[in-house]
């Protein structure tokens, strides 16, 4: 039950990109291609999971006054690892992520989850939180990337889909526009889901109100 909650929080209910609006810098800069979303998402998932595990293990050892430098040190270690691995084995992805790969160190999602979750919860829960928050980030980035790639360059994951393209969507202004559209769509779905869950309560309330009004 707890694990299901953590998974749902990461993927949907507290989606880091669309609900918490964290890590906007790579979101805006890298979503020109859907492939970038997957690469960045996997890198962040790896760093987030590992740093959550270590921080959760050390949560009773790290003094609260110096916790931020300690977290940054742990995060930077794993960012260096993933950077070296990507540069060695997947140089194409490393090149397309560019400067945003080392910048994962200061990504708010990782520091935010360390502060809000890993420093207060046991290891297994923190590990799951890292995995699903990372996957939620990856899903949002990939969807946004696919949208922008489709309309902006007429391709999808590098494959040609149509000849027509609107250059606006691959430019910075298009990034902000796409982000706004996605947050709006997310809120729409979020409200629909939460309303459906509360449906029995909300459905009965108006009818009684109407009856009262009718009687009055």
Partner 1 sequence: MEKLLISNTPHVRGKATTRRIMIDVMIALLPATVAGIVFFGWRAALTIVLALISAVASEVVFRLVKKESVKSIIKKYDFTSSVTGLLLGINLGSQSPWYTPILGSVFAIIVVKMLFGGTGKNFVNPAICGRVFLVMSFGAAVGSGWLEPSIPAFLPTESGNLSLLDLLIGTGVAGSIGETSKICLIIGGIYLVVRGVIDWKYPTIYILVTGLTLSIFKLDFSLFLPSILSGGLVLGAIFMATDYVTTPNTMTGNIVYFTALGILTGIFRAVSGGEAVSYCILLMNFTVPLIDRFIVPKPFGYIKPEKPKAAKEGKNG
Phi and psi at residue 156, to the nearest 5°? -140, 120
Q: Which stretch binds partner 1 (CB under 8 A): 17-25, 93-101, 129-137, 161-169?
A: 161-169
Q: Which stretch binds partner 1 (CB under 8 A): 86-94, 98-106, 169-177, 185-193?
A: 169-177
Rounded to the nearest whole angstrom, what is the least distance from the CB of residue 146 to partner 1 in the complex?
A: 19
Site for partner 1 in 74-133 (CB under 8 A): none
162 near partner 1, judged by CB under 8 A: no
Rounded to the nearest whole angstrom, what is the least distance from the CB of residue 178 to partner 1 in the complex?
A: 12
Q: Which stretch binds partner 1 (CB under 8 A): 33-41, 44-52, 61-69, 162-170?
A: 162-170
Residue choice 166, 191, 199, 205 for contact with partner 1 (CB under 8 A)? 166
What sign does the CA torsion over 188, 190, 193, 197 have? negative
Rounded to the nearest whole angstrom, what is the least distance from the CB of residue 12 to partner 1 in the complex?
A: 25
CB contact at 8 A, 171 and 153: no
Residue choice 81, 84, 91, 168 for contact with partner 1 (CB under 8 A)? 168
Residue choice 29, 171, 183, 190 for contact with partner 1 (CB under 8 A)? 171
155 near partner 1, judged by CB under 8 A: no
What are the DSSP calls for the chain, one per residue? -HHHHHHHIIIIIT-TTTTS---HHHHHHHTTSHHHHHHHHHHHHHHHHHHHHHHHHTTTTS-GGGHHHHHHHHHHHHHHHHHHHHHHH-HHHHHHHGGGTGGGGG-HHHHHHIIIIITTS-HHHHHHHHHHHHHHHHHHHHHHHHHHHHHHHSEETTEE--S---GGGGSHHHHHHHHHHHHHHHHHHHHHHHHHHTHHHHHHHHHHHHHHHHH-
Rounded to the nearest whole angstrom, what is the least distance from the CB of residue 170 to partner 1 in the complex?
A: 10
Each residue 175-204 as x (binds partner 1 by CB under 8 A) or -, in order, gives: --x---------------------------
173 near partner 1, judged by CB under 8 A: yes
Task: Note the residues at the interface with partner 1 (CB under 8 A).
Answer: 166-168, 171, 173, 177
């Amino acid at each position: 039950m707890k694990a299901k909650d953590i998974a749902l929080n990461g993927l949907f209910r507290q989606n880091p990109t669309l609900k918490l609006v964290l890590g906007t810098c790579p979101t805006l800069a890298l979503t020109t291609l859907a492939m970038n979303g997957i690469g960045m998402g996997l890198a962040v998932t790896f760093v987030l999971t590992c740093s959550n595990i270590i921080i959760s293990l050390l949560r009773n050892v790290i003094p609260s006054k110096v916790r931020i430098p300690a977290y940054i040190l742990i995060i930077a270690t794993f960012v260096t690892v993933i950077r070296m691995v990507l540069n060695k084995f997947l140089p194409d992805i490393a090149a397309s992520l560019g400067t945003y790969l080392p910048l994962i160190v200061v990504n708010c999602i990782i520091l935010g989850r360390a502060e809000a979750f890993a420093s207060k919860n046991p290891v297994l829960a923190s590990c799951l939180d890292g995995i699903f928050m990372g996957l939620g980030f990856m899903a949002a980035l990939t969807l946004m990337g696919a949208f922008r790639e489709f309309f902006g360059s007429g391709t999808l994951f590098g494959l040609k889909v149509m000849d027509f393209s609107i250059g606006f969507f691959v430019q910075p202004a298009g990034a902000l526009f796409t982000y706004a559209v996605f947050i709006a769509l997310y809120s729409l779905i979020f409200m629909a889901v939460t309303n459906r869950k509360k449906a029995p309560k909300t459905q009965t309330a108006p009818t009684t109100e109407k009856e009262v009004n009718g009687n009055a």
